[in-house]
């Protein structure tokens, strides 16, 4: 099998003798095949600002993983304003996520884009659950609930009640109430400190416990039935949670029922104070295999000793063609069209299979012809 080397599709850089893996750019153009964007691995990037940090991630999952009620598909599908820059495409025009913590956004992205690892800690999964619930990403929400459920059983029951009510998880609420009812040493103080349940819920918990301790000795199945009756209202709210949506109770949610992202043009002085996230600020690389174009985060290809690692430099700091955003363009108000790295003796199916391991995502059907201007 011939060796395969990537090369920049630039007439001035190609060498005539490269193990038959390189063809001149005019040969590619002469083939008559109009390049098309790969339906899954051509990522358009979007820039978010959360607190003092910029994130640059593929836009696709914010469109395809969201439920129909999510704010993101509607926002991204709006016609572009009459301006020199599409909003969210560069550091100077980020989409600002107000009221969102950086830690929670990191947890959300760890589940949405598990390129290096997925969420692992309790706090990361809670972050993913919080934003997935707020923004109507049901698949990410269900993954977070499934991952957190074993950990919830080991945590304080009172805190779990509050967590269950905040995020609308019926099983967490019911299990936590049962744990409290079955706690023979339960005291009022433990239901008020360090976090507090409301007095109505406290009274019902003690009422169920009192009945359970009567001489007639309810069986456990009978006690569970009584819990379901006593807390029927809360459980119904949980069952209809998706229908009514989520609100954290803050002024933003009270007014708009959502922390709606907004676009902001930042002054140069502000841009200089922001930092790019060490993991989730993706600089991308454009690759062509046959007539199919791929655009993916560069970091996943920069493996020490690999062909791409050698081409770019393992640190990724070398400014070479193929980058669609360089350090010199920080804060620029225009999009940069990258020079495409062309692979020869490599088919789109081969490259797609390779990328599927590095960038595991659901299929996003957005194939269309590559813009030439």
Are residues 273 and 102 in contact, defined by beta-carbon separation less than 8 angstroms? Answer: no
Does residue 24 lie in a domain region?
Answer: yes
Report pLDDT for 1.
42
DSSP notation for 80-116: PPSSSS-TTSSTTSPEE-TT--HHHHHHHHHHH--SS
Report pLDDT for 222.
83
Relative to beta strand 262-263, strand 95-96 is antiparallel
Cα dist. 237→58, 180, 201, 203 in Å? 35, 20, 15, 19
Report pLDDT for 172.
95
Report pLDDT for 218.
64
Residues 156 and 286 in one domain: no
Report pLDDT for 265.
65
Residues 197 and 111 in one domain: yes
DSSP 238: H
Residues 169, 172, 173, 178: what is their CA dihedral angle, to the nearest 10 degrees?
160
* Among candidate residues 200, 230, 260, the one where a domain is terminated: 260
Does residue 352 lie in a domain region?
Answer: yes
**Which has the closest alpha carbon to 170: 227, 254, 248, 250?**
227
Residues 246 and 115 in one domain: yes
Structural domain including 333 reads 6-44+276-358
Report pLDDT for 102.
94
Residues 119 and 224 in one domain: yes
Checking phi first, is residue 180 left (phi over 0); if not, alpha (psi -120 to 50) or beta? Answer: alpha
Does residue 146 lie in a domain region?
Answer: yes
Residues 244 and 125 in one domain: yes
Residues 121 and 190 in one domain: yes
Residues 208 and 125 in one domain: yes
Angle between the N-to-C axes of helices 220-230 and 199-212, in degrees from 0 to 180, rounded to the nearest 10: 160
Report pLDDT for 142.
93
Residues 117 and 249 in one domain: yes
What's the structural domain count of the chain? 2
Does residue 372 lie in a domain region?
Answer: no
In a 3-state reduction of DSSP, which class is residue 189?
helix
**Tokens in use for 369?**
């012809």
Residues 106 and 200 in one domain: yes
Residues 37 and 152 in one domain: no
Residues 286 and 254 in one domain: no
Q: Looking at the whole model, is its pTM more than 0.85?
A: no
Does residue 93 lie in a domain region?
Answer: no
Does residue 337 lie in a domain region?
Answer: yes
pLDDT 10s per residue in the chain (373 long)?
A: 444 444 444 332 333 333 333 343 444 454 556 789 998 889 889 999 999 999 999 988 888 888 877 888 878 776 655 554 567 888 888 898 988 999 999 999 999 988 878 888 999 999 999 999 999 899 999 999 999 999 998 999 999 999 999 999 999 999 999 999 888 888 888 888 767 888 999 999 998 888 877 666 667 788 888 888 888 888 888 776 654 445 444 433 433 444 566 666 666 777 778 999 988 999 888 889 888 999 988 888 877 877 777 776 554 443 333 333 343 333 333 334 456 788 888 889 999 898 888 887 643 333 333 343 3
């Amino acid at each position: 099998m011939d060796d395969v080397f990537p090369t920049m599709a630039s007439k001035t850089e190609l060498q005539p003798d490269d193990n038959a893996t390189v063809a001149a750019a005019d040969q590619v153009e002469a083939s008559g095949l109009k390049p098309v964007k790969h339906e899954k691995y051509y990522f358009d990037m979007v820039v978010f600002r959360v607190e003092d940090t910029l994130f640059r991630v593929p836009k696709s999952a914010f469109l395809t993983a969201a439920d129909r009620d999510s704010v993101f598909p509607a926002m991204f599908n709006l016609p572009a304003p009459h301006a020199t820059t599409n909003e969210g495409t560069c550091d100077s025009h980020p989409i600002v996520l107000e009221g969102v913590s950086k830690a929670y956004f990191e947890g959300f992205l760890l589940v949405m884009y598990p390129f290096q690892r997925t969420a692992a800690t309790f706090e990361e999964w809670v972050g993913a659950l919080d934003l997935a619930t707020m923004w109507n990403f049901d698949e990410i929400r269900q993954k977070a609930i499934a991952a957190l459920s074993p950990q919830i059983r080991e945590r304080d029951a009172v805190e779990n009640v509050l967590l269950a009510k905040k995020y609308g998880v019926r099983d967490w609420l019911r299990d936590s109430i049962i744990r409290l009812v079955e706690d023979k040493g339960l005291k009022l103080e433990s239901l008020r400190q360090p976090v507090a349940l409301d007095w109505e819920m406290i009274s019902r918990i003690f009422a169920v416990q009192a009945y359970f301790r009567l001489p007639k000795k309810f069986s456990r199945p009978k006690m569970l039935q009584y819990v379901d009756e006593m807390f029927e209202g809360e459980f119904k709210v949980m069952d209809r949670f998706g229908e009514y949506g989520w609100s954290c109770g803050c002024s933003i949610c009270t007014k708009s029922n959502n922390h709606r992202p907004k676009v902001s043009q930042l002054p140069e002085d502000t841009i200089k104070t922001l930092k790019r996230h060490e993991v989730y600020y993706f600089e991308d690389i454009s690759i062509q295999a046959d007539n199919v174009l791929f655009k993916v985060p560069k970091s996943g290809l920069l493996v020490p000793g690999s062909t791409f690692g050698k081409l770019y430099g393992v640190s990724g700091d070398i400014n070479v063609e193929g980058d669609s955003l360089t350090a010199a363009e920080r804060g620029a108000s225009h999009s940069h069209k990258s020079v495409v790295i062309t692979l020869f003796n490599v088919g789109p199916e081969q490259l797609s299979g390779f990328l599927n391991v590095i960038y595991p995502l659901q299929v996003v059907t957005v194939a269309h012809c590559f813009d030439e201007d």
